[in-house]
Amino acid sequence: MTALQRLFKFNGGVKPAYNKEASTGLPIAVAPTPTLLVIPLHQSIGGPPRPLVKAGERVLKGQRIGDADGNVSSAVHASTSGTVVAVEMRLMPHTSGLSAMCVVIEPDGRNEWIPRQPFDFRSASPAASRDFLRDAGVVGLGGAVFPSHLKLNAGKQGKLDVLVLNGAECEPFITCDDVLMRERPEEIIKGAVIMREMLSAGEVLIGIEDNKPAAIAAMEIAARAANRVAGANVYKVGSVPTRYPAGGAKQLIRVLTGIEVPHGERSTDYGVQCFNVGTAYAIHEAIELGQPLISRIVTVAGNVGQARNYEVLFGTPMKDLVALCAPLPDSDRLIMGGPMMGFRMPGDDVPVVKATNCVLVGSTALFPPPPPEMPCIRCGECAKACPADLQPFEMYWFSRAKIFGKAQEYNLFDCIECGCCAYVCPSRIPLVDYYRFAKSEIWAREVEKEAADVARDRYEFRLLREEREKQEKAAKLAAKTAAGREKAAAALAEAAKPAATPEEDAKKALIAAALERARTEKARVHPENTADLTPEQQAEVTAIEARRAEIREMAKPHLRPDD
């Protein structure tokens, strides 16, 4: 028996049209390698990795091209073998439309792997296993791309009660986890076995929405096999009611275990950790096959002729991927993610990254422009729909009025941006846009404040240092002059007997003596030759002077300039 007996509920949530059938009809196909791969270096939460390759270098499939920047970061690898064409700024799959550092690789078509070594995590230390996963670039594939090695830490107690595998996949159109669970359930369970051992977890609960019976059946077979190996009933599949957002980490934990993780605390403090099923698959590939994370399953759906799931190499341009699905002619936009939480892409040549679970092709007919926003009527529907038990209308007013402190008091940062509030709002207010605005403003302020605090500290330290230097200088000078005075006094005492003369007089006497010495010296060196003359000599000198004067008088007309 692998099914879970008792389930709990979370508040709120909505039931949008699921639109999942279109992309589950066909099995996963491998997307062809494109002519150019653009691999962004920053694909996870945390610091942007440092590039390890230069233009012109040849890289192998799975070769690390970006090294994790510190522990809160994750490495990036070449998706196939080929030549690095450039390491440059390229348009990112991000709403901002800004560019970031990317490694551009021209594939050589040979698909040559690096030597792949399975990692023996059982004999390695937990820290070494975590480092291995960081360098294998494994991040959460549910969409948040949080580095997995940071989550594979059992916390203070050193063990967990429950490891939750998230296969709920509640967002409309997206089926990448569904098909992965249908087609590769054993590999997912193998990943779960590794994670369970690393976390010393008790049981593993796999939560899947009940609109995916095929996935539930496949996972149950795999779980049963794993239970036989483990000799106990530890791997359980929970079929959770279909209600958006049942796939939110906190919501799924609540449904499966009944534990409500409070504001500002971590689920590990309550003995629970949650991973996406795709992440479990990636961990299996990294540890048991030695393959770093270089591809993922991506759903292509929406305004296309044939929606389908593809295994896509990271760096594949979205337009190449979408072209495989025969997009309808009126398609005018690409959305990364689903219609509830997805982001509109700034162009169609942005690459597929680790966060890309779905590329949704949109058109005006499929997603009509939002109707005009009307004033809030305080109906409270948003609070009823909020799965995080917040008061969206309060947060909306304070965000709209830019009173961010108050918005934060209403726990704005517990908002998971699921969009339920905006979905039910009768005034059609784009509530989530206001929350995102408020959140990014608050973050920016936080960064500014930190910078200001650093500047204040450095400025105060500089003032302190200047003051200290001044004092040191003064002390030095005082010591110097004191020493000089002592010397002078000693010299005076030796020269003139009155040793008891006041300091002033001693100085004056010293100066006078020095002047006298200088005068006599000068007289001694340069004696005047006209002194001490005889009367005859004097008369001769006078005669010579008179002659000189006469000659000067005669020379005057010649000296005058003739105009």
What is the smallest separation between the CB atom of 437 and another protein, expressed in angstroms? Answer: 5
Q: Nearer to another protein by C-beta: 115 or 375?
A: 375
Q: Nearer to another protein by C-beta: 168 or 438?
A: 438
What is the smallest separation between the CB atom of 476 and another protein, expressed in angstroms? Answer: 20
What is the smallest separation between the CB atom of 458 and another protein, expressed in angstroms? Answer: 4
List residues binding another protein (CB under 8 A): 42, 48, 92, 94-96, 98-100, 369, 372-373, 430, 433-434, 436-437, 439-441, 443-444, 447-448, 451-456, 458-463
What is the smallest separation between the CB atom of 424 and another protein, expressed in angstroms? Answer: 18
Q: Is the peptide bond before 245 cis (omega within 30 degrees of 0)?
A: yes
> What is the rounded distance in angstroms from the CA atom of residue 446 to the CA atom of residue 523?
80
What is the smallest separation between the CB atom of 405 and another protein, expressed in angstroms? Answer: 11
3-state secondary structure of 68: coil
State the amino acid at position 298 in one-letter form. Answer: V
The answer to whether 56 and 83 have CB atoms below 8 angstroms apart is yes
Helices 213-230 & 176-183 angle (0-180, nearest 10): 50
Strand segments (E) across 95-234:
99-107, 160-167, 201-209
Which residues have a Cβ under 8 Å from the Cβ of 250 and sit 6 or more positions away? 10, 260, 261, 267, 388, 416
State the amino acid at position 125 in one-letter form. Answer: S
Q: For 15, what's the count of Cα atoms within 13 Å in the CB-facing half-sphere?
A: 5
> What is the rounded distance in angstroms from the CA atom of residue 41 to the CA atom of residue 200?
32
What is the smallest separation between the CB atom of 174 and another protein, expressed in angstroms? Answer: 23
User: How many other CB atoms are found less than 10 A from the CB of residue 55?
Assistant: 12
Q: Nearer to another protein by C-beta: 119 or 314?
A: 314
Q: Nearer to another protein by C-beta: 46 or 172?
A: 46
Q: Nearer to another protein by C-beta: 447 or 533?
A: 447
The two three-digit tokens of residue 515, written as one number:
């002047």
Q: Nearer to another protein by C-beta: 466 or 505?
A: 466
User: How many other CB atoms are found less than 10 A from the CB of residue 16?
Assistant: 17
Q: Nearer to another protein by C-beta: 256 or 335?
A: 335
Of 198, 183, 176, 186, residue with least CA distance to 132: 198
The answer to whether 256 and 162 have CB atoms below 8 angstroms apart is yes
Chain position carrying tokens 């108050």: 406
Q: Nearer to another protein by C-beta: 42 or 284?
A: 42
What is the smallest separation between the CB atom of 465 and another protein, expressed in angstroms? Answer: 8
What is the smallest separation between the CB atom of 374 and another protein, expressed in angstroms? Answer: 10
> What is the rounded distance in angstroms from the CA atom of residue 226 to the CA atom of residue 214?
19
Sequence length of the chain is 563
Give the dihedral of Cα atoms 230, 272, 146, 217; nearest 10 deg: 50
Q: Nearer to another protein by C-beta: 41 or 322?
A: 41
What is the smallest separation between the CB atom of 464 and another protein, expressed in angstroms? Answer: 11
